Each structure stands twice: as C-alpha cells, then as structure tokens.
A and B are shown apart, each in its own frame.
Chain A
C-alpha cells in the first residue's frame, strides 16, 4: 500500500511569509504526527492529530499550527516565517495499534528554506 505522502518536497520562502505543508497518511491510519528536523536539534515533536482532533502538542510557538481533515489528511501551517524555521518537516502516520507502541511511518519530508 502507498506510504505517507508529503507535498511539497522542497520550497523556498522569505522571512515574514507563511507556508502550508500537506501530508497524506497511509490508508487506514487515523493518527498523524508532525516533526521538525534540524541538524542541531534532531527530531522535535510539533503536534499529533487523531480523528481531526489535536491530541498532543510540542513546545513550539503559536505560529505553528495544524489541522486534520475527515479523510485523515493533515496540513501544517507556519506563519510569519523566521530564518530559524528552515528545516525538514516530517509527517508520520500510525495505526491504532501503532499509536500504543510508537511505531510511526514517516514520509520523505518537506524541506523548507527561509531566506
């Protein structure tokens, strides 16, 4: 079955702009998590959605937001971009069973560069 799909794969923005990233989970997976990956900080948890509800949230400012649709697809938005937001944004989906064990299936990521 198809894996987790993230779009776009690469994008370049300038400071102050906003960006929306999209994630389509594996069919049947209802939980979607978002992570920010930077060389210095590793994988930082942004938020998790399950059945259109935010279930967990990491320690990121309010400029970072997300949502999940009824088909389990998810989007995350970053407003008023800063240089430090340059990172690889990873989406991961999991089944109900996987949610209990932490077994995540990651997409290839969206690499955001802020100039």
Chain B
C-alpha cells in the first residue's frame, strides 16, 4: 500500500533544541495528522490539520498542512526529555483511507 515519506528517520538532539520533521506524499490528502508513540504505548494524536496552508499549534508543537496538500511538517520548540518517542505523520486520502509514515525516532539528551 501507499507509504508516506517521513524524514528524518531518527534524531538525536540536546534538551532545549528545536526539532523539525516532515512528511511528503505523491498523492493529495484531505487531512494530515501527527501522532506520537511513547515506548510501550500506542500512538496518541498530537495535531490534526484539515485545510491546505493551515498552521496549528499545540503547546510547543506546531504543524502545517502544505499548500500543495502533498506534505506536512511538525516542529517542536525547546525540546524536553519527555519529548522522546516516535512521531508518525498520517494522511487521509480523498477516498478516506489513512496512510502512515514510517516514523521519526526522537532522542533527547539532558
């Protein structure tokens, strides 16, 4: 099935640094979502984007729905140790199917 191109695959950063990750697709999506998975847990929804160009924040997290509807990015500002986990992007196609990226593994050093 279709897979989104999510990058980077992994990041090792120091506490306090900003983080940026993105997702691209060859197809148009109606919705972009960002999930975070803590170790031993299921993914949890962080941000949902519904309109091209939309920029949405959730605390230190900011995500944007690309104007072409084929990409999205997630920024985390001033990272803290509890930001550690796997971040997944997901896109919902015009036919209603949901596709996930392969995830970005984030490690934050104190």
**Could you say which residues of chain B place their CB within 8 Å of the CB of A58?**
1
B3 touches A42 (CB 8 A): yes
B31 touches A108 (CB 8 A): no
B residues contacting A by CB (< 8 A) are: 1, 3, 31, 33, 35, 40-45, 48, 50, 88, 90, 92, 96-103
Q: Are B48 and A43 in contact (CB under 8 A)?
A: no
Interface centre among A33, A105, A106 (most CB of B within 10 A): A106
Question: A59 CA to B1 CA in the complex, in Å?
Answer: 7
By the criterion of a CB under 8 Å from any partner CB, how many residues of chain A are at the interface?
A: 23
Question: By the criterion CB–CB under 8 Å, are B88 and A43 in contact?
Answer: yes
| In the complex, chain B residues whose CB is within 8 Å of the CB of A105 | 45
List A residues at the B interface (Cβ < 8 Å): 4, 33, 35, 41-45, 56, 58-59, 90, 92, 100-109
B100 to chain A: which residues have CB within 8 Å? Answer: 35, 42-43, 45
The one of B33, B40, B92 in contact with A108, judged by C-beta atoms closer than 8 angstroms, is: B40
